[in-house]
A and B are shown apart, each in its own frame.
Chain A
């Protein structure tokens, strides 16, 4: 089943601002990272997927439904965590999440049970009876996540869930999102302008820029092709490079390092064999996972 699919999706706001331009993308269930700079069109895309905005042209499908015509059905099965402050300060988290659960169509007692469950899953226990106004930013983000989870959606749309959090809070939030996507069996679309964050937890990455699709693929497809081994020897770098080239291993120089493309485990043996044969002092040999950011960095000049 396709989780989210868009076809030539275009959104132009009044005043000629183009937020999305001819966006065609399809993703499978799982954890999807939607990355792009501020103003790239992430929030606009989310609002179209929720049926809050109508696209100027093109089509979108969420969980097999069209959000423009079946918006109520889509919204019953989707949970949304907005980017900005969204909590009334004088209500307690338990009351707010219960109320919003009822607005999602849960019967009264079920809403109360699921609200405390959802708050427990995001890590709020006794605090949930206190007014939200006194919460820390991290706790508020957790309440926002709990209200998106209360009605047991099939898809969560999270708009910048790590916004305003300190590094420890970011890690905790990302771990939570990862758990929701893997253990809870709920697909998650995480929006972020920080690629380094989402690539740690998602299976699929969609990158947009200026409302256009840069790239959409499985994270494994993006990284596996570029895994390299970095070899450093204290002396004899030239000899080793020559030797490896003879062994049919393409070598690139990067300062004192030799970068060898990792084909399979045999590559390690070949390199170690070559180093031993030449009797060189090996300084280090480690796998270098190419950060996805580098993929986009190399693409960007052609785009601009």
Chain B
């Protein structure tokens, strides 16, 4: 009879004496987990469908725009315009991903497991917020990179052409960052109010879309100042207003949102909106953590 070659020993419980990482590493772990969750990575196949469908569409649009430009030479849309044109997709992406990030945890009761660990309670919502903002920025910025690669290496103007494209791309990426910040903070705040994912998704869509009619009503009022301030009423037109003020003709020769001389007002409003949403989000999680 052959001797047994391997024996499994139960070595019992082992104490851990190695390093324990600090707040930054913990925040990083939460952030990365959130970012992966946003794109359905490490999750079921069902959770991957929607995020990757949206990613597929925006990439396809960018590839088509790049192809048209290199073949016909016509600029279908600028880098900054790309974000504006994709706003509907961004709204739906937020409506699906924000509940996935926060409502799920509220519903399953997993939060006590986070808050009994050595992270300050504000770190949980901030890591989730940063993860959602990054996901949105990648969603809008990635396709712009595709457009840039397409344009830069078919322009025929050598390094100078690449440099010119880069100068156009950078404001576009910054503008995408603004979209990401505003939509992530508003969307996450709405989603964190309920543990029911369907309600949270509905709430996000409602906040972004139901405010558009208000803009419409205000912009046909018989006062020019009211018309020019009307775009403050909805997050997407608010972002458009800031873009109009900061980027000017990068958003196209014809201003999509005529804001007159109120540009700085729009910029301040955007900052206040983001700050307000973050403050409310932190307040919300102070309450949740004590439960």
Q: A99-B29, A151-B16 are in contact. Are A88 and B290 (CB under 8 A)?
A: no
Contact with B along A66-107 (1 / 0, CB 8 A): 000001110110111010111111110001000110111111
Please give the distance in Å from B50's CB to the nearest CB on chain A: 15
Residues of A within 8 A of B14 (CB): 117
Judged by a CB distance under 8 angstroms, whether B158 is at the interface is: no
Residues of B within 8 A of A151 (CB): 16, 20, 117
Docked-complex contact B116 and A80, CB < 8 angstroms: yes
Please give the distance in Å from A263's CB to the nearest CB on chain B: 40
Please give the distance in Å from B127's CB to the nearest CB on chain A: 10
Residues of B within 8 A of A89 (CB): 108
CA distance A184 to B11 in the complex (A): 12
Judged by a CB distance under 8 angstroms, whether A170 is at the interface is: no
CA distance A95 to B37 in the complex (A): 12
Please give the distance in Å from A122's CB to the nearest CB on chain B: 11
Docked-complex contact B110 and A104, CB < 8 angstroms: no
Interface residues of B in 110-136 (CB under 8 A from A): 110, 112-120
Judged by a CB distance under 8 angstroms, whether A121 is at the interface is: yes
Contact of B117 among A75, A87, A131 (CB under 8 A): A75
Q: How many positions in chain A have a CB within 8 Å of any CB in the partner chain?
A: 43
Please give the distance in Å from B288's CB to the nearest CB on chain A: 11
Judged by a CB distance under 8 angstroms, whether A37 is at the interface is: no
Please give the distance in Å from B61's CB to the nearest CB on chain A: 31
Q: Which residue of A lies closest to B33 (CB)?
A: A99
Docked-complex contact B108 and A82, CB < 8 angstroms: no
Docked-complex contact B13 and A88, CB < 8 angstroms: no
Q: Which residue of A lies closest to B109 (CB)?
A: A86
Please give the distance in Å from A158's CB to the nearest CB on chain B: 12
Q: Once A and B bind, how many residue pairs between them come within 8 Å at the CB atom? A: 101
Residues of A within 8 A of B114 (CB): 100, 103
Judged by a CB distance under 8 angstroms, whether A232 is at the interface is: no
CA distance A105 to B117 in the complex (A): 9
Please give the distance in Å from A167's CB to the nearest CB on chain B: 26
Interface of B is mostly: loop
Q: A52-B290, A100-B113 are in contact. Are A88 and B105 (CB under 8 A)?
A: yes
Judged by a CB distance under 8 angstroms, whether A114 is at the interface is: yes
Docked-complex contact B289 and A87, CB < 8 angstroms: no
Q: Which residue of B lies closest to A180 (CB)?
A: B13
Contact of B16 among A52, A78, A114 (CB under 8 A): A114
Judged by a CB distance under 8 angstroms, whether A53 is at the interface is: yes
Please give the distance in Å from B12's CB to the nearest CB on chain A: 7
Residues of A within 8 A of B118 (CB): 71-73, 75-76, 104-105
Contact of A90 among B25, B44, B119 (CB under 8 A): B44
Docked-complex contact A85 and B109, CB < 8 angstroms: yes
Residues of B within 8 A of A95 (CB): 42
Docked-complex contact B20 and A76, CB < 8 angstroms: yes
CA distance A152 to B19 in the complex (A): 12
Contact of B26 among A103, A180, A185 (CB under 8 A): A103
Residue in B12, B113, B289 with the greatest tally of chain A CB atoms within 10 Å: B113
Q: A88-B108, A99-B33, A100-B113 are in contact. Are A72 and B23 (CB under 8 A)?
A: yes
Q: A53-B290, A114-B16 are in contact. Are A102 and B26 (CB under 8 A)?
A: yes
Docked-complex contact A121 and B13, CB < 8 angstroms: yes
Please give the distance in Å from A53's CB to the nearest CB on chain B: 6
Contact of B109 among A82, A91, A131, A180 (CB under 8 A): A82
Could you give 27 example pairs across A and B, Cβ below 8 Å? Answer: A50-B116, A52-B116, A53-B290, A72-B119, A76-B20, A80-B116, A85-B108, A86-B109, A86-B113, A90-B43, A99-B29, A100-B114, A103-B29, A103-B114, A103-B119, A104-B20, A105-B20, A105-B21, A105-B118, A107-B21, A110-B18, A114-B16, A121-B13, A152-B16, A183-B13, A185-B13, A185-B15
